Chain A
Amino acid sequence: MIQFPINLKAHKRFDDFGHSFVADIEAACVFEVNDIVSDILDMCEDSTTAQVKEVLRSKYQESEINQVFGYLFQLQMAGILFHQTSVIDQKRIAFSEQIVVSPSFLSRLDQKPFLTRVAYHHLFKALSQKLEVFVPISNTESLPTKFDWEGIIPLKIPTESRQSLVRYYPERCHGMLSLPHSTVHDVSLAYSSRIPTIFYVSSAEPDRQSILDKFFLLRDCDLLCVDSWWLKDYLSQFTADTEKVVVLPAGVEGDVYTLKDAQESKLTLAGAFENERMKSDPLILLFLPDASYENRNLVHFLARNHPEFLFIVVGGMNRLQLGSQCENIEYFQVEDMADYQALPVIYSAADLGYYAAVGGANAFYLSSALYCGVPLIISGEHDNSTMKDLGMYIQIAANSTPAETAEIVSKSLVSLLVDQSLLARYRDLAIRKGRSFTWESVAKTIKNHFISLREQLPQTEPSLTNLPSFFRYHYDTIQGKAIPAAYERPDFMPETVNVAIAKELMQTHSRNQVSVVLERICEDSSIAGDIRKYLSIERKHDE
């Protein structure tokens, strides 16, 4: 189908002998045009195909219009008349500072964890300072109640537009933000709407496959923001190319998370927990992702190995899940605003914290603990230079037993607690690094990314810049069989089928995706690697 608008550069229209004609200078062809074609030529440079047809319908029969379009399409394919394949460049509109948040975050919003809803609220607030943020709500929907909407503008979508939601967005907004804990439906929405999309995902999300899918399906105009370095490390297991993954640590509400006096905080906690030991014993915070067998045992090992310390398990599990009666273990979960506001007191009272930076870990705790100056021992599965800058980083293999982990963590705990100057250094480090974890910086980063993503507008139609290869059977007279073969256009030089497939996919898919395909279709990894290298070289030449 002919795609309008189209630039009629080398065309000349004229009348003579009682008829109208068009001369296509480049095709060296001249032909007579009738009324319908004449009307089309009048509109084709400034209107879309749909718009042209709409106007034509008021004058001509549908069958006539279809016939003419079929005829014109043949001309175009023959290199006559509409033979430029490029459309008029989309105007680079200045970034209008309008973005929309994908509606999937609203799904069961009231049932989402408290911390998730708080994060949404602060993110929106911060974003609203930098951008016009719309949250799509239909006319008939009521706003979720367990959410603080202050400062956020719900974009009321008219009912009829809701059905064509995918068209609504690009007309109103220049980008879409998919929030943590959103479904893969946002991918479909992004592809359908054809607007640049930032997918912001959290390591605390239970559905890791969804994050993996979003990662692989990123287009040139998309970006994946992860709230933790270990999530980026996780993704890098599947591919070396994580260029489109940016770490955007969760922000902290500076008004609430202020540094308090340590001694006063300890006293407050002792009263709140009714535990006198909190006044004087070393207080260690344990940040574990969940109540798995390994984590429960880790807590037990630590508690038993160090009866002199008092441990508070923050988030992740509760007393019931741990099933332990150890006297030196307390629990704290943020389930409501009171808990949320009490957390800074716990941070201020703590001497030290251990943070397991693994899948499922809630990045908010890392950000907020550092923000409040808690010196941290951070463990992770990979060697990560960034996390080494946040605290005492220890690498623990994924298959380590709880006992092994406990031994390593214990050593680190003791080493820090006996060396007060070292502890002070890590505290200063935490404060210095933690101060950058604000929602304002998250909002600013998101805005900057949206502006740069505008340079990578999604194509209206994924088109090939190079001619696709030609695939056919080749009859082998010796074997008496037809063998699949590929030929590179325009000269039809033979090439291997693998390379031909990969070359074409490279034009419409990311390198990560093509890597997946090559690993699958090549007989062994070395061949896949060779083809990848070959294509990378080609791509550099194209660029």
Chain B
Amino acid sequence: MDTIRNMVHRYKLIEFQESAYLADLDYHRLLPVDGLVQDVFERIESDTEEIVSDLADKYTEPEIRNCLHYLHWPQVQSFSRTLEAPPLKIFAPRLHSTHDQLRWNTLGASVAHIELLKALSKYATIHVTQEFEEMDNMVLTPFNIHEKSSVYRVIKENYDGVLLWYLDEVEMMSLLSYLYVPVVLPIYTARGGNGRIANGMLRWYTSMRNFDGFMTLSQPTIDLYSTFLRDTSSFHIVPCGVDTEFFRPKDKEQAKQEVAELLDRPEITEKPLVGYISRFQVEKGAGVFVDVARLMPEVLFLAAGSIEESHYCDFPENFVHIGRRPREELPLLYNAFDVFCFPSIACSEEFGLVALEAMACGTVPVVSSYDGPKYVVKDAGVVVPAMLYDRDMTSLGGGILAEDFAEAIAELLQNEVYRHKLAGKARQRALQLTWDNSAKCLLQVFQELNVKKRLVGQQAHMPIGFGINENVDGSTQPKAMIINATRENNMPLTGTLYDTSVEEGIALSLLRNHNMREIEVILSYLLEDDDAIEECLDRLKGFTRALF
């Protein structure tokens, strides 16, 4: 930088208790002033090189330049066009770097989130904290969760909602302690990682407030969690979408020809073509796909996606793996396939974006009856029954037989009328699941959560005591007592002391410093019976809501 004269923020030097500070009025920081900062600041009107040379006797060049750099923190930059201000303002922070560029991105979650933000930016002002491609309608807002001035800026913006990226970013939990704004956490993978994902979700679950929520991609995720959580009202389905303009049907023969030329594989136009586009991994059914190829030597099987060198082994002759392809080639590939095969058995498969992309191109998908893909395809493809495990087996959530897949594929290839009918349905289904619809769905979630937020006010608490009842026969029974008094010196009930169970007393007492979800956990520990837990939770909710 040649000069920071025009870029420096408004600064004010202040003194407090014999120390000097530099108040950055634009960036809301407070910088302790030492000799270096003072000397640099006194010369702030000069050119950078002049400052460096002027102070060269006292400080090193890196020191001076670092100080200048720090004084000149970026202004808030905006990429937004001149649009009418949309009604909602959403903060979408990200702590860790985005993965590969979108063009080469094979992580479905990453692709999905970026696409969702892009679609959302048409309906809301989105503030992001990291740059990525195609973020025309978004505002770049630098954010450091550990810096108070950064935190202050977030509070000051008065957002209508926060959309996080991944539940792994546990530092983001601190937002819940001070930001009175609905926070939505997407669940792109529901389980896996040897319990890491489920435990991450559970940690968020008990930290979240009543007006926060999870965004799931499909109903099976909620069904899964309902087996060990009581309150699934915070889970909202926002399915992924697909760009139906980018992924659209083309003439299949034409597509095959183009692909054959592109890959220099003339056999693509000569045989029925079954496709697979995903990471070539066990969880994604790579092994099953190869086995299906072995069972159907008369059909050509083509796989695309990232693959480890070591996985190139003993493929049958009718199997081709073409490696990772750029995103812009995917519509062509999908169109070239007669059938799209997605035998994923990953326990983290919440949606199956690739199946939807194939459907958008009018290609019939064959998927396993496992969680997300089943939900996406419905009757617009073929769902092959899978063995579903109650517990994950490594990163597998179930098992499928190559024979079953082969049978389904064979039927499709043999019955052209059936295949075309399903292809039409597939396209129609895809048209319902656009990113635009996803964005609107998510907006509605934020609107609902903002309404819910209105109900969350100052909660009255009554003191709770614990004691013993002495029965007539001399036996004793422990109890809790609700003491009719609140923090406001108020006695809202007519009576004085109300006896209740010790468990309920513990819950009421701990509610002062814990939310209802933590209380749910505590009651699960204290009470063995599910019905008793439910009843107790209902009583607590009713009682605490009645108090004012």
Contacts and interface: CB of A to CB of B under 8 A. Distances in A.
A and B co-occur in one complex? yes
Interface of A: 1, 10, 12, 14, 16-17, 19, 21, 23-25, 27-32, 70-71, 73-80, 164, 166-167, 183-185, 187-188, 191-194, 208-209, 212-213, 215-217, 238, 461-462, 464, 468, 470-482, 484-485, 497, 501, 504-505, 508-509, 513-514, 516-517, 519-521
A473 B177 contact: no
Given A471-B206, A477-B195, A517-B502, A31 B156 contact: yes
A193 B489 contact: yes
B326 interface: no
A519 B463 contact: no
Interface of B: 10, 12, 14, 16-17, 21, 23-25, 28-32, 147-149, 151-152, 155-156, 158, 177-180, 194-195, 198-199, 202-203, 205-207, 228-229, 390-392, 458, 463, 465-470, 476, 478, 481, 483-487, 489-491, 496-497, 502-503, 505-506, 509-510, 512-514, 518-519, 521-522, 524-526
Interface of A is mostly: mixed
Contacts of B476: 238
A80 B12 contact: no
B468 to A, nearest CB: 5
16 contacts: A21-B12, A21-B25, A28-B30, A29-B148, A30-B25, A30-B28, A78-B148, A188-B483, A192-B489, A193-B489, A216-B467, A471-B519, A473-B206, A484-B525, A509-B465, A521-B503
A422 to B, nearest CB: 36
The 7 A-B residue pairs whose C-beta atoms are closest, nearest first, are A216-B467, A482-B228, A78-B178, A77-B178, A480-B391, A192-B485, A475-B198
Contacts of A215: 467
A350 B158 CA distance: 85
B228 A216 contact: no
A65 to B, nearest CB: 14
Contacts of A21: 12, 23, 25
B161 to A, nearest CB: 15
Which of B158, B466, B476 neighbours the largest number of chain A CB atoms within 10 Å of its CB? B466
Contacts of A183: 496
A402 to B, nearest CB: 19
Which of B29, B148, B151, B484 neighbours the largest number of chain A CB atoms within 10 Å of its CB? B148
B502 A23 contact: no
A135 B490 CA distance: 21
Contact of B518 (A209, A213, A472): A472
Contact of A192 (B177, B468, B490): B490
Given A23-B23, A473-B228, A516-B467, 19 more contacts: A24-B148, A30-B149, A31-B156, A71-B158, A80-B148, A166-B489, A166-B491, A187-B483, A188-B484, A471-B522, A472-B206, A473-B202, A475-B202, A480-B390, A482-B198, A482-B202, A514-B466, A521-B502, A521-B526
A477 B194 contact: yes
A183 B21 CA distance: 61
Nearest to A30: B23
A238 B475 CA distance: 11
Given A505-B506, A520-B502, A78 B390 contact: no
A298 B443 CA distance: 83
A528 B487 CA distance: 31
Nearest to A10: B16
Nearest to A164: B489
Contacts of A470: 206-207, 518
A184 B497 contact: yes
Nearest to B154: A78
A188 B519 CA distance: 25
B479 to A, nearest CB: 8
A138 B21 CA distance: 59
B506 A521 contact: yes
Contacts, number: 229
Nearest to A79: B148
B506 A14 contact: no
Contacts of A14: 12, 14, 23
A472 B30 CA distance: 37
A442 to B, nearest CB: 27
Nearest to A492: B203
Contacts of B524: 473, 484
Contacts of A70: 180
A504 B57 CA distance: 58
Contacts of B25: 16-17, 19, 21, 30, 32
B491 A192 contact: yes
B240 to A, nearest CB: 25
A520 B505 CA distance: 12
Contacts of B481: 213, 216-217
Contact of A481 (B151, B228, B513): B228
Contacts of B178: 74-79
A12 B32 CA distance: 14
A191 B463 contact: yes
Given A167-B489, A473-B228, A78 B522 contact: no
B483 A217 contact: yes
A475 B228 contact: yes
Contact of A216 (B148, B206, B392, B466): B466
Contacts of A238: 468, 476
Nearest to A104: B496
Contact of A504 (B147, B466, B487, B513): B513
A249 to B, nearest CB: 24
A520 B468 CA distance: 11
A462 B10 CA distance: 44
A17 B23 CA distance: 12
Given A471-B514, A474-B202, A509-B509, A461 B487 contact: yes
Nearest to A472: B206
A484 B465 contact: no
A61 B202 CA distance: 42
A464 B514 CA distance: 12
B348 to A, nearest CB: 14
Nearest to A12: B16
Contacts of A479: 391
B468 A212 contact: yes
A151 to B, nearest CB: 31
A472 B496 CA distance: 34
Given A191-B485, A212-B470, A519 B478 contact: yes
Given A10-B16, A484-B522, A513-B467, A501 B30 contact: no
Contacts of A472: 202-203, 205-207, 518, 521
B22 to A, nearest CB: 9
Nearest to B487: A461
A21 to B, nearest CB: 6
Nearest to B491: A192
A450 to B, nearest CB: 21
A187 B519 CA distance: 27
Contacts of B514: 468, 471
Contacts of A476: 195
A74 B199 contact: no
A525 to B, nearest CB: 12
Nearest to A17: B10
Nearest to B489: A166
A473 B467 CA distance: 29
A181 to B, nearest CB: 16
A191 B483 contact: yes
A408 B194 CA distance: 73
A497 B519 CA distance: 12
Given A480-B391, A516-B468, A501 B506 contact: yes
Contacts of B478: 516-517, 519-520
Which of B10, B195, B392, B486 neighbours the largest number of chain A CB atoms within 10 Å of its CB? B195
A479 B390 CA distance: 10
Nearest to A504: B510
B518 A30 contact: no
B512 to A, nearest CB: 7
A517 B463 contact: no
Contact of B496 (A1, A185, A477, A508): A185
A250 to B, nearest CB: 24
